[in-house]
A and B are shown apart, each in its own frame.
Chain A
Amino acid sequence: MVVNKIGRKNALLLGGVLVLGLLPIALQGNARILNVLIAALMWGVLASAWDLCMGYARVFSFGHLAFFTIGAYTAGLTARQLGIPPLAAIPLGGVTAAIFGLLIGLLCLRLRGVYIAMVTFGLHMVLQTVIIWGRDITGGKTGVTGFAPLQIGQYIFSPSYPFFSYYIALGIFILLLFIIYRIINSPIGLAFVALRDSEPYAKSLGVNEYKYKLIVFGISAFIAGLIGAVYIHFYGIISPVTLDIPIFLMVLIMFMLGGLGRFPGAVIGAFVITFVTEALRPLLLWRFVALGAIVVAVTVFIPGGLMSIPERVRPFIRRAFGRRHVEEEVS
């Protein structure tokens, strides 16, 4: 029965990947929608990495958009100043973000809960200020541009080549999500969940809580930084606006909506929210009022997120089809 469940889940995941793979063909290369989809894929990776930290390990980080931005700036700046090719600049962005992640992790080692949120949000605020004030290097409010794009033959990874870029983004997405999936199902993921569910019990069974706190910061910051580097290569620019509160909230609400610690909920949330914010564009100033209201409503009304809906609905179905289900349980 357990095997069945895992099998079913894997089949669903594979199905999801297949749908994503065929979407551009179904959309007949519609550039506008494809570009929104590419954004959703990138946000999906960031939201999943963040969820690994917040949902699985329950380490309350408010620093992942900062890690994302660090990765992006590292990739952009090294590409521009040192002429490093994109294929090296992107991993470098991930590694730099991971180093920051580990440093922040060290700082948070003895802290817990809300305090970690405060420290990591401190990083977020410091970063935005540093970027704006260090304008000689970082470009200040205008941001970083003017580096060689990621190019294969005549195709350039940018919004101008949506069909090509979509498949590049999808490839990166599948790779990184697969890594996250494997971590969740490995002993590392088990340690995260154990520490989340009951720290004293986990420690008594030999789990070294400091080690896993560092691991979760390191891994999730690495993935966040990597996708940040991909992001800057796609758009060809990044600015401190990325660290503004609306974007911070937008990513947060992606995995909240999808369901904290319920892979691949963060991805589903990313797709929904990316399209919703896109649809809200005509509201102009009222857009962020609406986004804020949506965040509040989602957290108040569906605390377990979209991924918890099957669980919530099942008892009702069970009641409706009472007898049939009992038989199923017995067999």
Chain B
Amino acid sequence: MKILQAKEVTKRFGELAAVKDLTFEVEKGEIFGIAGPNGSGKTTLFNLISGVYSGSGDIIFEGENIHGLRPFQVCHKGVARTFQIPILFPSITVYDNIRVGAHFGVLKGKNEKERINEVIDFVGLRGRENIVAEHVDLFDKRLTMLAGALATQPRLLLVDEPIAGLSPREVRDSVALFQKINRELGITIIIIEHLMKVLVEVSHRLMIINNGEKICIGPPEEVTQNKEVIEVYLGG
């Protein structure tokens, strides 16, 4: 079953087409990887799905076109995201950061406290939840962002370069966490990542884009053998 279908999605900034006629599908339950050179339109694609921008074409989530909805509406439909640059609410605690997602991301949410505590334990932030967010380190910032997104109880999670700048151990923990989110919570994940090794390890299927256009899509082994991919991305 398809959880997300993008049909001829295009977004222009003036002359520049940051995303161009992009068509692809994501299966329910999979981890779907996206890679591409800098400026190839990956983040723009996330911004289109999550309602930050609107362009042309259809974005169909669980059978419903969500293209053009506002970000909070997309969130209520069941799509959560994290940001490439770890932005948080720096002036409040990690707990309150997550509370924003738990309270506003879920319509008629009950047992708010319980859900927040579950998420804190799930991502492994226990013990740091009362620190004011601007004082936590990069890894905890990423975890907080992820926890906030999970607190909205999404069925689709978009993560944008979640391991940039992390230590090897933190990268390993992150990979394990994504797999746990996917397996135990049954959440479909779309992940943007530059580090091919990690992406191949974590994702079931992979899409490579360049200049806003799809180059190829398929299982990791296949994609990494693709001539064009090697040319524009892996080689260069």
A is bound by B? yes
Residues of A within 8 A of B (CB): 1-2, 187, 190-191, 193-194, 196-198, 200-209
**C-alpha spacing A187/B88, complex, angstroms:** 17
Contacts of B122 in A (CB 8 A): none
A190 and B99 within 8 A (CB): yes
A194 and B89 within 8 A (CB): yes
> Main secondary structure on chain A at its contact with chain B?
helix
Q: Which 9 residue pairs of A and B lie closest in terms of their CB atoms, listed nearest first?
A: A206-B105, A197-B89, A203-B71, A206-B104, A206-B75, A205-B101, A208-B72, A207-B104, A198-B87
B83 and A207 within 8 A (CB): no
Which of B99, B104, B152 is the most central at the interface, judged by chain A CB atoms within 10 Å of its CB? B104
Residues of B within 8 A of A (CB): 50, 52, 70-72, 75-76, 80-81, 83, 87-92, 96, 99-101, 103-106, 130, 145, 148-149, 151-152
Contacts of A200 in B (CB 8 A): 52, 71, 83, 87
Contacts of A206 in B (CB 8 A): 72, 75-76, 101, 104-106, 152
**C-alpha spacing A201/B50, complex, angstroms:** 11
**C-alpha spacing A198/B88, complex, angstroms:** 7
A201 and B105 within 8 A (CB): no
Give chain A nearest CB distance to B160 CB in angstroms. Answer: 11
Contacts of B75 in A (CB 8 A): 203-206
Residue of B nearest to A193 (CB): B92
A194 and B100 within 8 A (CB): yes
**C-alpha spacing A87/B96, complex, angstroms:** 39
Which of B50, B71, B83, B99 is the most central at the interface, judged by chain A CB atoms within 10 Å of its CB? B71
Give chain A nearest CB distance to B149 CB in angstroms. Answer: 7
B72 and A198 within 8 A (CB): no
**C-alpha spacing A198/B148, complex, angstroms:** 13
**C-alpha spacing A209/B104, complex, angstroms:** 11
